[in-house]
Structure 1
Amino acid sequence: MAIVLFLVAGFLVGGVIQLVRSGATKFSIGLVGVLAALATAGGILWSV
């Protein structure tokens, strides 16, 4: 399960990068960034 969460986090980080490049709103960038951070934290906590 931790690997799945890290994969999701990777996709979300890529989404943040694409949102920044396309000039999206700060809210959408922040929302996807928070989801990426939560997925990363979940992956770390699940692997402990």
Structure 2
Amino acid sequence: MDAVLPVALFALGGVLIGGAWSLHRQGAPRRALVIVGVLAVLATAGGLLWLVPGEGG
């Protein structure tokens, strides 16, 4: 059950990256691309950091 959240975050990051690419191809404003791109990076980084072993349990 511990691996569900990182997988969900990676999936969300992938969907957001795909959305950013789609926005780019449609000629969306740069601001929208930056916002979606930052959200994608945050989701992916969150999934990666969740998998890093640390203190606690």
State TM-score, norm by structure 2: 0.83
Residues 15-41 of structure 1 show CA distances to partners (whole Å, capped at 9, x for unaligned) of 000000000000000000000000011
Q: Equivalences for 1:32-43 in 2 at 5 Å?
A: 32-43=36-47
State TM-score, norm by structure 1: 0.98
Give ranges in structure 1 of 5+ residues lacking alignment.
none
More helix by share: 1
Q: CA deviation at 1:4?
A: 0.2
- Give the partner amino acid of 2:21: I
Aligned residues: 48
| Aligned-residue RMSD, C-alpha | 0.3
- Tell which structure's C-alpha radius of gyration is larger: 2
The ranges of structure 1 where at least 4 consecutive aligned residues each deviate by more than 3 angstroms after the TM superposition are none
Give me the identity figure in percent: 50
Distance 1:39 1:47 in 2: 13
